[in-house]
Structure 1
Amino acid sequence: MVIHIKPYRYEPSLAAAIVFVVAFGLTTVLHTYQILRTKTSFFIAFAIGGWFEVIGYIGRIISVNEYPDNTRPPYAVYVLFPLIAPALYAASIYRVFGVILQVTNGEKYSIIKPSLLEAVFIFGDVASFVLVGVGGSMTVAAESEASINKGERIVTIGLIIQLLFFSFFIVMAGIFNIRMAKSPTETVQSRSDNPYQKHLYALYLAAFIILVRSVYKLIEYVQGRGGYLFSKEVFAYVFDAALMFFTMVIFHFVHPSELNALVKGGFVVSNVTMAKPHRDSDASIEDGDTDKLETKAVVLVV
């Protein structure tokens, strides 16, 4: 079915869409491998977000090839999948922070009780995911400007929720970092190589990037289809595709499998290299006793 309302206000670039299918494809395949190899199950949503990006930009390739007589399905795939992918990245970031609390035995420094942490942020993430998905679906299924505007308003609400929860998360992580720096827990003091700090910085960077992207999308949807941002293709690639790709690359080099290994043992990804940690004894690492673990030599290079 041909879309009666023009989906693009410019002549879309096929080359740019292909570049990002390849880019997201490569990083997502590697993330999937790293997660499976290291059994870092709490990071699965991150890889799923990557696959959503791949599917979305494949949809854009098909849609660009159809231009200017666009049909609805490929354009809908492009609009929806990259739009909701950041919610999956956010879910993984929240989960990594929870693991950092475990590794440092720093639950007392979190302004939200660890037992409520995931519930609070999952609620915000799901609410954002649903609203953005529903609103995005309405915009691509719309037959009139009024229906498009209604869908855009719903997406805007979802993006505002995402921004609020993400901003709160950055503040919460910052407070945790300050408190830990002032009074490190025994677990942190007992391990000179405790990696929590670099993982926290990776979360800061990724969260800030996603925040910038969310602000861009919010402004785009507030302006509507007649706005300046929607009329320039370069903005979609610079402030959405490129930022999300960079977010995925960050976690190749600061991979959460290192935290996973400290919590329960397993393979570690470090600088896109894998190593197997081992215990000095059969002692448990429960109750923050992570100093029982150390890293062996590299056994596999990706």
Structure 2
Amino acid sequence: MAVLEPYKGGYYLWKYIPSLAAAVIFLLLFIVATGYHSWKLHKTKARFCIAFVIGGIFEIIGYVARAAAHNQTGKLMPYSIQSVFLLLGPTLFAASVYMALGRIIRCVRAEKYSLIRINWLTKVFVMGDVLSFMVQGGASGLMVSGNTAKLGSNIVVAGLVIQVLMFCFFIVTSVMFQVRMNRCPTPESFDERFKWKSHLRVLHAISLLILIRSLFRVVEYVQGNDGYSLTHEWTLYVFDSTLMFVVMLIWGIWYPGNLQVLLKENMPLTSLMSRDVESRQGYSA
């Protein structure tokens, strides 16, 4: 029978015995979701979705570690692995989301409607995401020691705040783009092969879910080791695990891989549209 054991000097890594059943359920869910995303990635060759698949792998590793920790609450390795990988997985999801917006804008030839210059759009958000990733990842190791746990928690909060701010800016950028497009759509936006509004709705939904999860994590670490969130396991599964699985589900159902296909076609959308207009004019003449 699993018991709560101290790590060193009476310091407890866990405030509860992690549920084996919950860890296994979400492990299986993320295995299926990541497998599906890997298949879609192979089929579409959408390289900007690679980070999304890696994020799914991070989730899998995290729940494997949580399952192992059920009977090893006094062991450092399972605790560290689940802490780091579950913390960083959504950051990789965010990277794919950021890269998708730039491709949407290029596909409909609406660079002039972007709040940020299109050549810098993806770079700005991905660099912010990388910074958040590095800050959170670097601080995760500090949280496993009683002496540096508070410092590590504060640094993780800083990384999460960076992520939250970048997401808020991203949402503003994508919403402004949509507003401008609705006012004066480009000719390419009428191409039925590309449903840019549908893709934007997916980005907005996923961004909101990751934002909620990040805010939960901020609250979790601000409360500290004795706070409600870190002492009640259900909060993690409701505000992190479930939300991130839904993110993978949404991305999988409305997969944006066709963005890569459209951008790689031999004839640009603009040429297709021009040729269609010319053919109609010739027919009318």
TM-score normalised per structure 2:
0.90
Please list every run of 5 or more consecutive structure 2 residues that lacks an aligned counterpart in the other structure. 1-5, 275-285
Cα displacement (A) at 1:289: 4.0
Greater length-normalized contact order (CA 8 Å, ≥ 6 residues apart): 2
Distance 1:161 1:291 in 2: 41
2:14 matched to which residue of 1?
8
The structure in which a higher percent of residues are helix is 2
Cα displacement (A) at 1:36: 1.1
1:236 matched to which residue of 2?
236
Matches within 5 A, 1:1-302: 3-4=7-8, 5-67=11-73, 70-140=74-144, 142-144=145-147, 147-189=148-190, 191-265=191-265, 284-285=267-268, 288-289=270-271
| Aligned-residue identity in percent | 37
Change (3 A) 1:219 1:39: same
Please list every run of 5 or more consecutive structure 1 residues that lacks an aligned counterpart in the other structure. 266-282, 293-302
Q: Contact (CA 8 Å) 2:65, 2:79: kept in 1 or not?
A: yes
Larger Rg: 2
Q: Contact (CA 8 Å) 2:132, 2:163: kept in 1 or not?
A: yes
1:211-270, Cα deviation, whole Å (9 max, x unpaired): 0000000000111101111111000000011100110010111111121222114xxxxx
Distance 1:193 1:264 in 2: 14
Q: Contact (CA 8 Å) 1:59, 1:77: kept in 2 or not?
A: yes
Cα root mean square deviation, aligned: 1.6
Cα displacement (A) at 1:59: 0.6
Change (3 A) 1:290 1:134: farther
Q: Contact (CA 8 Å) 1:23, 1:245: kept in 2 or not?
A: yes
The structure in which a higher percent of residues are strand is 1
Distance 2:199 2:71 in 1: 41
Cα displacement (A) at 1:133: 0.5
Q: Contact (CA 8 Å) 1:103, 1:290: kept in 2 or not?
A: no
Number of aligned residue pairs: 268
Q: Contact (CA 8 Å) 2:18, 2:66: kept in 1 or not?
A: no
Cα displacement (A) at 1:9: 1.4
Amino acid of the residue matched to residue 179 of structure 2? I
Q: Contact (CA 8 Å) 2:18, 2:69: kept in 1 or not?
A: no
User: SS where residue 65 of structure 1 aligns?
Assistant: coil
